[in-house]
Amino acid sequence: MLRGSSSSPHVALSKPTYVYDMTAVGAVPTRVRGWGGGDGVSALLLRPASADALRTALAVRRSPAGARAHIAATGAVARGMGRSYGDAAQLSGGLVLDTTLLRGFRLDEGHATVTAEAGVTIGELLHTLVPAGWMLPVVPGTQHVTVGGAIASDIHGKNHSAAGTFGRHVNALGLLAAGGEVLELQPGSDQGLFESTVGGMGLTGVILWARIGLTPVQGPLLSVDTDCVEGLDDALALLAGAGGPYRVAWLDLLGSRTGRAIITRAEHISDAAGPRARVRGATVSARATVPERWPGGMLAPSTVRAFNEVRFRRAPRRRRGRPEALGAHMFPLDSLDAWPRLYGRRGLVQYQFVLPLGQDQVLHSVIERLRRARVPCFLAVLKDLGAANDAPLSFPLAGWTLALDLPRVAHGLDAALDRCDELVAAAGGRVYLTKDSRLRPEALRAMYPRLQEWRAVRDRADPERLWRSDLAVRTRLVDGEL
Ligand SMILES: Cc1cc2nc3c(=O)[nH]c(=O)nc-3n(C[C@H](O)[C@H](O)[C@H](O)COP(=O)(O)OP(=O)(O)OC[C@H]3O[C@@H](n4cnc5c(N)ncnc54)[C@H](O)[C@@H]3O)c2cc1C
């Protein structure tokens, strides 16, 4: 197995508040939170050095010791880099299995695949694969996401219409099941357990490794087309038009002309087609870190409005074929480490939803609803999505997805988002679970019509309901009847 470099997950240690028998196998009391910040919860964190160590530690659960009663009662959940915004990778009072030390991977050029342990990040893979002429077909907006997290959330990239989700390119995966056995799953195997694990938010077991199909690339360069438009409908038209497969629109929702946008469409090019000197590589380095005690009030609507104005004025009205490095284009937020701290102690809520094609007017309605509630949106990103896949809990469906970064301190935020949920659900859309921290069970049920199908597979694989998360408990993903 090749080894890549590490970057530490977003987990803050706190004073131990309790000690259980699991500490004997290395679990430590820790405060765990989502990427959106906030107070977090107390949990026992176990960071095994290998897949075998993880299995052995969990076997304690089946011993007659006190640990057994504790783990059975509180449950366990896998965690990667903690880049899910809400409570998907945490379990209050339970066991959190940090997979970030499972970091081996091997490239098989003959079969155009990479086999990676669950804790390897997208960035670590790209760092090795792209210079070797291979690309992961799907990457998210940050390089700091593990393979396990990418599969459990069935993530999509800026090229979903062309490439589908991450899960579509997984040929096989190893799953540590509730009974302690390791299952090798392939698409269509084990009565839907593969499809229920893809997008299953860690609730079918711990993904230990995956074999992922790759696409050939000539190097770390993209050719990028940029356009500025004055309104949301123009942005939708450009995203639906011809151009490169990586498409995204940044919207300014604080300006006087709501919805003015910068749209980029990008495609891979060979090194020969662009100046090598401008290549900064397949990944991006953090140029600064936001300090831990950043005063939250500094990120006010007036500050962001001014920033947006500068950004919009500096952007070219229309530019074609600019060569840009893959990492800098795909992962712009990674150049500022710990950026959610800009939102202050309470952090942010990211509200990401998808609407089916033909429901574009609901995008306007959601934006208008937040505006009327005086909830400021500091970052808004719009993408087109292609057809849904076979995984019952997978988020994407053919249409438009909008991700909105909203300060948690905003007065009336929860009530406004509850109303937005109703608009989204009535239009046949859904909220993205890996970004969520506040969705209600009835809204979840309305948005995910294949929920019962997923629950049936999950319950068969884990009848004792060992695998749980705060997301699963809050939305009753796991607990069945509403
Ligand atoms: C700046 C930024 C940009 C983003 N852009 C995108 C984007 O463009 N598209 C997109 O789809 N998402 C995007 N995301 C969300 C991110 O890709 C997902 O939340 C992803 O799951 C995070 O991976 P992680 O390793 O941090 O997992 P965590 O956040 O630690 O966990 C996420 C979920 O995966 C489960 N999980 C983690 N590891 C395992 C494992 N080994 N076995 C089983 N379950 C596991 C957890 O239980 C949890 O339910 C973005 C996030 C950020 C912060």
Q: What mean pLDDT is predicted for residues 11-27?
A: 53
CA of 191 to the centre of ligand 1 (A): 25
Residue pLDDT, tens place only, 164-188: 999 999 999 999 999 889 999 999 9
pLDDT, the chain, mean: 90
Q: What mean pLDDT is predicted for residues 146-174?
A: 98
Smallest CA separation from ligand 1 atom 28, residue: 82
CA of 309 to the centre of ligand 1 (A): 31
What's the pLDDT at 63? 54
CA–CA dist 311, 440 (Å, integer) = 36
CA–CA dist 420, 351 (Å, integer) = 10
Cβ count near 17 (within 10 Å): 10
Confidence tier at 13 by pLDDT (50, 70, 90) = very low
The β-bridge relationship of strands 348-356 and 430-431 is: antiparallel
* DSSP letter string, 313-344: HHS-SEEEEEEEEHHHHH-GGGGEETGGGGG-
pTM of the predicted structure, to 2 decimals: 0.94
What's the pLDDT at 14? 42
The β-bridge relationship of strands 76-79 and 95-98 is: parallel
CA of 154 to the centre of ligand 1 (A): 8
Atom of ligand 1 nearest to the CA of 175: 42
What's the pLDDT at 8? 40
What's the pLDDT at 283? 95
Q: What mean pLDDT is predicted for residues 72-95?
A: 93
What's the pLDDT at 12? 42
Q: What percent of the chain has pLDDT over 70?
A: 89
Q: What percent of the chain has pLDDT over 90?
A: 79
What's the pLDDT at 2? 39
Out of 45, 54, 55, 79, mutate this one to test ligand 1's pocket (max ligand atoms within 8 Å of CB): namely 79
Q: What mean pLDDT is predicted for residues 89-108?
A: 97
Ligand 1 site: residues with CB under 6 angstroms?
35, 77-84, 88-89, 99, 118, 140-142, 145-146, 148-150, 152-153, 155-157, 201-202, 206-207, 333, 434, 469
CA of 376 to the centre of ligand 1 (A): 25
Atom of ligand 1 nearest to the CA of 102: 41
Q: Are 119 and 103 in contact (CB under 8 A)?
A: yes
Confidence tier at 62 by pLDDT (50, 70, 90) = low
Confidence tier at 73 by pLDDT (50, 70, 90) = low
Q: Are 340 and 35 in contact (CB under 8 A)?
A: yes
What's the pLDDT at 453? 97
CA of 142 to the centre of ligand 1 (A): 10
Smallest CA separation from ligand 1 atom 37, residue: 149
C-alpha angle with apex 175: 125 to 430, nearest 5 degrees? 80
C-alpha angle with apex 131: 125 to 134, nearest 5 degrees? 65
CA of 321 to the centre of ligand 1 (A): 31
Which has the minimum average pLDDT: 32-46, 103-117, 257-271, 437-451?
Answer: 257-271
CA of 173 to the centre of ligand 1 (A): 17
End-to-end Cα separation, the chain, in angstroms? 46
Q: What mean pLDDT is predicted for residues 29-43?
A: 96
Smallest CA separation from ligand 1 atom 4, residue: 141
Of 368, 331, 370, 372, the closest CA to residue 349 belongs to 370
Which has the minimum average pLDDT: 183-192, 204-213, 253-262?
Answer: 253-262
18 pLDDT above the threshold of 70: no
Write the CA distances from 461 to 190, 204, 307, 330, 454, integer angstroms: 10, 7, 49, 36, 11
Q: What mean pLDDT is predicted for residues 375-394?
A: 97
What's the pLDDT at 66? 52
CA of 82 to the centre of ligand 1 (A): 7
Confidence tier at 294 by pLDDT (50, 70, 90) = confident
